C-alpha cells in the first residue's frame, strides 16, 4: 500500500509541476480532439514516463486490493487505467506515421523500449495474473455480459501469450525479445520511408502515383527502370537495406513462439484468430491461387496480342514478350479495347472532395449520419481537415479527420487510426476521434486532386474502417471499434467498397471537376462491365503476398536463410507466373514486418468472403434497404470485439458465409 501511495504522490507532484505539458490532463479542446497546437516534441518523453508511472500505480492498487477479485475491481479497473499514456501514445504513434521527421523518429526509438518494458511488467506480473486467472476460471459463474466475458478472455490471453507462465529465465528472455522486436520493426518502417522518398526524388512521383505512371508511361525502358526501383526498395545494399533486419525480426519471432510452446510464429499468431491454424489459411489460399493464376494467364495472352501489334508496327523489337513492367501499361490498352474504358477519361469525374462527399452521403443514406465541416479545430498538419459526425437524432457520433495527400514525412499507403478510442468511463460515453489517411495526388495550380478508380475504392475502404471506429457502442476500450480479430477487421472496410461504383451512388458524387456534369450513363456502364477486369492479376498478386507472409511465419529457424532466395523459392512453389510479383515483396512488406499483419495478410481475402456474401443480402433487399443497414450497424459496426466474430456475422446474415461469393465476385 505504501508503494501505491508513493506512486500517487509522485504523479500529483509531477502534474502540479508540469501543467504546461498538454498530455497530463484531459484535452481542453472541442470534442476531445488532441491539442496539437500545444504539443511540442519536448512533451513526449516526460509524458510517457509520467503515464507509465500513473498506470503502474493504478495496477499496484488493483493488486493491493484485499477484497476478493471481481470483474469490477480487477478487469474494469485495468480497462480504465493509463489515461495519460493513452493520450500521449495516441498522438505520438499517429504522427510518427503521418507527420514524422528525424527528431520525432528518435523520440519513438527512445519510447518503444520503455513501453515494451512497461507492458512486460503488467503482463508478466504473477500477482496481477493470479486475480485475472481466478476470474477466468469462474467466468461462467460471474453473471457477466457477453462483452465482459470477451474482455476477460482477451485479458487472460494477453497474460498467457506474453509468457506469464514461463520460468524466470524464460521471462527475462521474453522481455528482451519484446523490446528488441519493437525497435527492429520501427527501424524497418523508417527504412522504407527513406526508400520511398528516394524513389520519389529519382522519378518525381510519390509511391502512390507509381501504379498510375506504370499504366500511362509509353517509354518501356523507363517503365522497366521504375519497376526495378520500386520492387527493390529495402534491397539496395545501402543503409536502408532491410534484409538483415528481416532475419533478425524473424529469428526473434521464431524464438518467441517456441518459448510459448508453439512450433512457428504463424501457429502462435493464429491461435486466437478466426482461421485458427496455419493449415486452415494455407488451404484457403491454395484454393484461390489456382483459379487466379489461370485467369492471369488469359490476361497475359490478351496483352501479348496487343504487344504483338506494337512489334509489327515497329514500336518494339522482335520477340518482345510481356514482362512485369509491361502489365499495367498493356492491361490499360486491353481495357480500352475490350471495354472502351480509359482511366484518364474517368479521373476528371473523381475530384477528391466530391468523392469524399459521396462517401459521406452513402453513410447518410444507410444510417442517417450527418457530417459537418469543422474549420476551427487543432490539426497536426495544414492539409488535415476535420468533420463532426452526428447521428440521425443529432447526437454526437465522433470526429473524423481526413489526411489525403502525400508528403515526405508520411509513409505510403492508406489507413485508419484512432487518436481517441470510444469507451465508457464512469458512465460517460467517450466518443472517438478517428483519422483516415491516404496518399492521393495533390492538387496543382490548375487542377484539383483527381482520383483513379482504385483510389476511389480506397477512400470508401478506409472510411469503412472509420465507421467501425465511429459507430462503436462498447463499454470497454480493449474490444471497442476495430479491436477485433485481424481476419474480421477488414469486413466493415471492404463491404463499403461495394457501394463505390453503384450507378445511383456514382450519380451522386461523380461530377466533372470543370463542367459539373454528372458522369454519363455510358461511362457508368463501362465501369460496371469492367468490374472483373484484370482480376487474375489483382488476385494473384494479393494471394502471392499472403502466401509469402505465411511462408515467412511458418519458419522454424532462419539459419541459412537468404531473404531473396527464400522469396524466389516461395514464389516458385506457389506457382506464381513470371509476369507477376507479390503485391509486397519481402523487403518492403511493411504490413507484416511493422504494421501488425504478420501471418495475417490473408485477412483481406478472408474478410472478402464475408463482405461479398454480406453485400449479397443488400443486393437482394436493396442496396439502401434500411432494415438491412440497421442490422449491419447493430450486429457488426457497433459491436467491435464484444462478441465472437462469426456469431456477429451470423446474426446479421442469418447463415454462415458462402465461400463461393469471393470467386464469383472476382470473375474467377
Distance separating alpha carbons of residues 428 and 418, to the nearest angstrom: 19
Q: How far are the Cα atoms of 85, 192, 221 from residue 464, in angstroms, in the given order? A: 27, 27, 39
Q: How far are the Cα atoms of 269, 392, 598 from residue 487, in angstroms, in the given order? A: 12, 31, 12
Q: How far are the Cα atoms of 362, 370, 388, 428, 630 from residue 394, in angstroms, in the given order? A: 18, 8, 11, 18, 17
CB 22 within 8 A of CB 16: no
Judged by DSSP in three states, 355 sits in helix
In the block, cell 477466468 appears at: 136
- Which one-letter DSSP state was computed for residue 339? H
Q: In the structure grid, which three cell numbers stand for residue 660, read together?
A: 463461393
Q: Taking the CB of residue 504, how many other CB atoms lie within 10 A of it?
A: 12
Distance separating alpha carbons of residues 27 and 34, to the nearest angstrom: 6
User: What is the gyration radius of the CA atoms in the chain, in angstroms?
Assistant: 25
Judged by DSSP in three states, 3 sits in helix
Distance separating alpha carbons of residues 421 and 481, to the nearest angstrom: 8
Q: 645-651 — which CB contacts under 8 Å span 24+ positions? A: 645/274, 645/484, 645/485, 645/488, 646/274, 649/491, 649/610, 649/614
Catalytic site positions: 462
Burial of 393 (0-12, 13-18, 19+ CB in 10 A): exposed
Q: What spatial distance separates the first Cα and last Cα of the chain, rounded to whole Å? A: 65
Read off φ and ψ for residue 433, nearest 5 degrees. -120, 115
Angle at 537 between CA 309 and CA 277, to 5 degrees: 165
Positive or negative: CA dihedral 182, 186, 188, 189: positive
Amino acid at each position: 500500500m505504501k508503494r501505491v501511495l508513493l506512486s500517487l504522490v509522485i504523479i500529483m507532484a509531477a502534474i502540479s509541476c508540469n501543467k504546461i505539458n498538454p498530455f497530463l490532463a484531459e484535452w481542453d479542446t472541442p470534442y476531445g480532439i488532441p491539442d496539437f497546437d500545444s504539443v511540442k516534441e519536448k512533451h513526449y518523453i516526460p509524458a510517457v514516463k509520467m503515464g507509465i508511472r500513473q498506470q503502474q500505480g493504478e495496477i499496484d492498487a488493483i493488486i493491493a486490493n484485499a477484497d476478493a477479485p471481481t470483474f469490477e475491481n480487477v478487469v474494469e479497473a485495468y480497462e480504465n487505467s493509463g489515461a495519460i499514456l493513452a493520450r500521449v501514445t495516441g498522438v505520438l504513434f499517429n504522427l510518427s506515421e503521418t507527420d514524422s521527421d528525424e527528431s520525432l523518429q528518435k523520440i519513438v526509438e527512445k519510447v518503444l523500449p520503455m513501453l515494451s518494458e512497461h507492458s512486460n511488467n503488467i503482463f508478466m506480473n504473477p500477482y496481477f495474473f493470479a486475480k485475472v486467472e481466478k476470474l477466468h476460471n469462474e467466468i461462467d459463474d460471474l453473471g457477466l455480459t457477453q462483452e465482459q466475458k470477451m474482455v476477460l478472455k482477451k485479458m487472460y490471453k494477453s497474460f498467457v501469450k506474453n509468457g506469464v507462465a514461463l520460468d524466470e529465465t524464460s521471462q527475462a528472455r521474453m522481455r528482451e525479445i519484446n523490446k528488441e522486436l519493437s525497435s527492429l520493426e520501427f527501424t524497418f518502417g523508417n527504412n522504407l520511408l527513406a526508400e520511398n522518398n528516394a524513389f520519389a526524388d529519382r522519378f518525381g512521383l510519390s509511391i502512390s502515383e507509381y501504379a498510375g505512371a506504370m499504366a500511362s508511361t509509353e517509354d518501356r525502358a523507363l517503365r522497366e527502370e521504375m519497376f526495378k526501383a520500386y520492387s527493390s526498395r529495402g534491397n539496395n545494399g545501402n543503409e536502408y537495406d532491410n534484409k538483415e533486419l528481416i532475419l533478425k525480426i524473424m529469428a526473434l519471432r521464431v524464438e518467441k513462439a517456441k518459448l510459448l510452446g508453439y512450433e512457428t510464429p504463424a501457429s502462435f499468431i493464429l491461435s486466437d484468430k478466426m482461421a485458427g491454424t496455419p493449415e486452415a489459411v494455407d488451404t484457403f489460399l491454395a484454393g484461390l491461387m489456382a483459379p487466379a493464376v489461370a485467369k492471369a494467364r488469359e490476361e497475359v495472352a490478351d496483352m501479348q496480342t496487343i504487344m504483338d501489334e506494337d512489334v509489327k508496327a515497329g514500336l518494339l523489337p522482335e520477340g518482345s514478350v510481356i514482362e512485369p513492367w509491361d502489365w499495367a501499361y498493356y492491361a490499360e490498352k486491353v481495357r480500352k479495347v475490350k471495354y472502351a474504358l480509359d482511366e484518364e477519361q474517368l479521373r476528371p469525374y473523381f475530384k477528391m472532395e466530391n468523392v469524399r462527399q459521396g462517401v459521406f452521403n452513402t453513410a447518410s443514406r444507410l444510417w442517417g449520419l450527418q457530417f459537418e465541416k469543422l474549420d476551427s479545430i487543432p490539426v497536426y498538419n495544414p492539409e488535415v481537415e476535420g468533420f463532426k459526425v452526428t447521428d440521425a437524432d443529432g447526437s454526437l457520433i465522433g470526429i473524423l479527420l481526413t489526411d489525403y495527400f502525400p508528403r515526405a514525412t508520411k509513409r505510403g499507403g492508406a489507413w485508419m487510426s484512432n487518436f481517441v478510442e470510444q469507451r465508457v468511463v464512469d458512465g460517460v460515453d467517450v466518443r472517438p476521434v478517428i483519422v483516415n489517411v491516404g496518399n492521393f495526388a495533390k492538387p496543382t495550380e490548375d487542377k484539383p486532386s483527381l482520383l483513379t478508380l482504385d483510389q476511389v475504392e480506397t477512400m470508401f475502404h478506409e472510411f469503412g474502417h472509420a465507421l467501425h471506429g465511429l459507430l462503436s457502442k462498447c463499454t470497454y476500450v480493449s474490444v471497442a471499434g476495430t479491436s477485433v480479430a485481424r481476419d474480421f477487421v477488414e469486413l466493415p472496410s471492404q463491404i463499403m467498397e461495394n457501394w463505390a461504383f453503384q450507378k445511383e451512388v456514382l450519380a451522386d458524387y461523380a461530377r466533372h471537376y470543370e463542367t459539373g456534369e454528372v458522369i454519363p450513363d455510358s461511362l457508368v456502364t463501362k465501369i460496371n462491365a469492367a468490374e472483373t477486369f484484370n482480376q487474375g492479376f489483382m488476385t494473384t498478386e494479393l494471394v502471392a503476398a499472403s502466401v509469402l507472409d505465411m511462408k515467412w511465419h511458418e519458419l522454424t529457424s532462419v539459419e541459412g536463410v537468404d531473404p531473396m532466395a527464400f522469396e524466389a523459392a516461395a514464389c516458385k512453389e506457389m506457382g506464381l507466373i513470371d509476369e507477376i510479383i507479390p503485391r509486397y515483396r519481402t523487403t518492403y512488406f511493411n504490413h507484416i514486418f511493422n504494421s501488425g499483419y504478420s501471418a495475417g495478410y490473408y485477412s483481406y481475402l478472408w474478410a472478402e468472403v464475408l463482405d461479398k456474401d454480406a453485400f449479397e443480402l443488400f443486393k437482394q433487399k436493396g442496396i439502401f434497404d434500411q432494415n438491412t443497414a440497421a442490422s449491419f450497424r447493430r450486429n457488426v459496426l457497433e459491436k467491435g470485439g464484444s462478441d465472437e466474430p462469426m456469431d456477429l456475422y451470423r446474426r446479421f446474415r442469418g447463415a454462415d458465409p458462402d465461400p463461393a461469393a469471393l470467386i464469383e465476385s472476382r470473375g474467377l
